[in-house]
Amino acid sequence: MRIGIVACEIFKQEIEALTEGDEDVVRKEYLEFALHVHPEEMRFAVIDKVNAMVGSVDAVFIGYATCQKLSGLPLEVKVPAVMLDGDDCISVLIGPVEYAREKAVCAGTWFSSPGWAEQGMAAVIKELHLDCMVDQGYDPMYFVDMIFDSYRRCLYIDTGVGDREGCEARSQEFAAQIGVPHHSRRGSVERLAEGIRRTKEKAAACSG
């Protein structure tokens, strides 16, 4: 069978670890994180990348949670596809129950992950649309300080893949930048692995 993957670069480290040496995976495309800033454009970009795999794969794993504008994507593409369950990437990495529990422990939690840590403050500035402030003569960090004033901790999700020490160090650096304590906990790649397994099942069913 031939599996394609179209995913957010936030999940790149986890997906690369899960698919290493997997000969069923014949194509992979990672879309830049900054697309989250423009949800409608992100939806069209994902659809275009999936549809570009028509004829070269039997099914596609869409490595995105619903992320604002992405629900129902498998129904809109021209290739059999499977998508992740969950509201966002953190929900995928620790599950909705644990996600809710961690929010209850501290409502002012900034959730980090290997992908988020790798992106760093530059990604957050883009996500919050603060990069435009530079053209107006303002330092984006001035607004970052105001926005993060209500945050009380940064919680790093260790998924057990990639450069674990390096990613956690970058997460700690981010916590220092926003002036909050840094904590960490284990996450899981199981929901990503399950998505890939379901994609292979769909590929087998479609090719059979």
- pLDDT values of the chain reduced to their tens digit, one per residue, 208 residues: 899 999 999 999 999 999 999 999 999 999 988 777 778 888 999 999 999 999 999 999 999 998 767 888 999 999 999 999 888 999 999 999 999 999 999 999 999 999 999 988 988 887 777 777 767 777 888 888 888 999 999 999 999 998 999 999 999 999 999 999 999 999 999 999 999 999 999 999 887 6
State in words which class domain 3-88+189-207 has: alpha beta
Locate all alpha helices (DSSP H) within the chain, ordered by sequence. Answer: 12-19, 39-51, 89-94, 96-105, 114-127, 140-147, 164-178, 190-207
> Global pTM?
0.91
Tokens of 67: 């992320």
Q: Would you kindly state where each structural domain of the chain is located, as residue ranges?
A: 3-88+189-207, 96-186
Contact (CB, 8 A) for 8 and 89: yes
Contact (CB, 8 A) for 189 and 159: yes
